[in-house]
Homo-oligomer: A and B are copies of this chain.
Amino acid sequence: MTEPLPPGSTIGILGGGQLGRMLSVAAARLGYRTHIYEPAANPPAADVAHAVTTAPYEDLAALARFAASVDVITYEFENIPTSALDALEAARPIHPNRRALAVSQDRLTEKAFLTDLGLLTAPFAAVDDEVDLAEAVEEIGCPAILKTRRMGYDGKGQARIMTAEDAVAALAEMAGAPAILEGFVDFSHEVSVIAARGLDGAVAAFDPGENVHEGGILRTTTVPARLSPAQRTDAVLLAAKILNALKYVGVMGVEMFVTPKGLIVNEIAPRVHNSGHWTQNGCAVDQFEQHIRAITGWPLGDGARHSDVVMENLIGDDIARIPAIAREPHAAIHLYGKAEARPGRKMGHVNRVTGR
């Protein structure tokens, strides 16, 4: 095994949102400094970072200066422009790798990759035009979901299709963006596995969490999830299969539907994931530190859970409930330092340590 990145080294993080913020704190805990690259001014991560660059992803000079100032680069979101990645990758190692980004940036590529691995996904079909659409609706049936292939998150860029007419209207809304039609999956609940793979190829996973969404946004994650021992093993093995196939380095979030036919992979995210925030108060090594360990060559934490946790996202006006939550004895509050509480905006989360 190679030596870990020396203490005092600097980790470059693309994106200064809450994930970058919590990655930065974890990096500091392991003795590293962080440098945040973020187009928006005063991002959440800036409050806990050693250095911040405020520049667009198109600014090649800023990217070059950033790369020169760091020892390794990672990211907190998957929609990084290819040109920026090209410029950065020429200068410094980037983890997770380009293949993981390519797979997760495009829903069609992602589904094809997963089915090639022999994993179950929702039925899907590519939709580039009305002809494709008619065929896809015919094949998959309704209800279904039309999604843009790229740049979707938190339920954005998606439309539920109940009839063939819905489908035509939804496609028109997407204004020519390449799309994918996904069939509905009859699932009892959704779980996710937060898994990590190190530079040495070792894989570790946290216990699966059970997710509840509202309006396309994650509301709560509960650990342990309702899963049989066999399902639990399946979930972890399935995630490991994905990481190994991609020669992935870092933490990945893998969302799955629990169905009578087995676990169906919904989506992968090549980064720390909202459904892994519970690890901050349930594990000695949380998902953020696990990611930093993976990309810097530390041994991975084994994912052991010392406490059960229910994570609740604080979205928009939920922030007004903080005074009450602050009085709960087992509530660990994590705010992101965002000034304005817009509807749908993730302002923080609370991990309720519920026992063991």
Chain A interfacial positions (CB closer than 8 Å to B): 4, 7-8, 21, 24-25, 28-34, 46-50, 281, 284-285, 293, 298-299, 301-302, 304, 306-307, 319, 323, 326-327, 329-337, 339, 348, 351, 353, 356
Instruction: Name, among A299, A337, A356, the residue most crowded by chain B CB atoms within 10 Å (CB to CB).
Output: A337
Closest CB in chain B relative to A324 CB, distance in Å: 10
A337 pairs with B33, CB closer than 8 A: yes
Residues in B whose Cβ lies below 8 Å from that of A34: 47
Query: Which of B24, B31, B302, B332 is the one whose CB lies under 8 Å from A284?
Result: B332
Q: Are the C-beta atoms of A29 and B326 separated by less than 8 Å?
A: no
Docked CA distance A49–B47 (Å) = 6
Contacts of A351 in B (CB 8 A): 284
Distance in angstroms between the alpha carbons of A48 and B335 in the assembled complex: 15
A356–B334 CA distance with the chains assembled, in angstroms: 24
Complex formed: what's the CA distance from A335 to B292 in Å? 14
Query: Per a CB cutoff under 8 Å, which of B8, B327, B335 touches A339?
Result: B8
CA distance A231 to B144 in the complex (A): 65
| A19 CB → nearest B CB, Å | 14
Q: Which residues of B contact A29 (CB under 8 A)?
A: 333-335
Which of B25, B299, B333, B335 contacts A327, CB < 8 Å?
B299
B337 x A28 contact (CB < 8 A)? yes
Number of copies: 2
Q: Contacts A25-B25, A353-B306 hold; do A337 and B298 have CB atoms under 8 A apart?
A: no
Looking at the assembled complex, report how far the CB atom of A200 sits from the nearest CB atom of chain B, in whole angstroms: 12
A284, closest chain B residue (CB):
B332
Q: Write the nearest CB–CB distance from A262 to chain B, whole angstroms.
A: 30
A sample of 28 inter-chain contacts (CB < 8 A) reads A7-B319, A7-B337, A7-B339, A24-B48, A25-B48, A28-B47, A29-B334, A29-B335, A30-B335, A31-B337, A32-B337, A33-B337, A34-B47, A46-B50, A47-B49, A47-B50, A48-B49, A281-B284, A284-B330, A284-B332, A284-B353, A298-B326, A299-B323, A299-B326, A301-B329, A302-B329, A304-B329, A306-B307
Pick the contact of A304: B326, B330, B334 (CB < 8 A).
B330
Docked pose: A8 CA to B335 CA in angstroms = 11
Give the residues in chain B near A330, CB-CB below 8 Å.
284, 304, 306
Could you say which residues of chain B place their CB within 8 Å of the CB of A25?
Answer: 25, 28, 48
Contacts of A46 in B (CB 8 A): 50
Q: A8-B339, A306-B353, A339-B8 are in contact. Are A47 and B33 (CB under 8 A)?
A: yes
Complex CA gap A33/B44 in Å reads: 10
How many angstroms from the CA of A284 to the CA of B354 in the assembled complex? 11
User: Which of A21, A29, A323, A333 has most chain B Cβ within 10 Å?
Assistant: A29
Residue of B nearest to A339 (CB): B8
Q: Give complex CA distance A316, B125 in Å.
A: 60
Residue of B nearest to A44 (CB): B28
Contacts of A47 in B (CB 8 A): 28, 33-34, 49-50
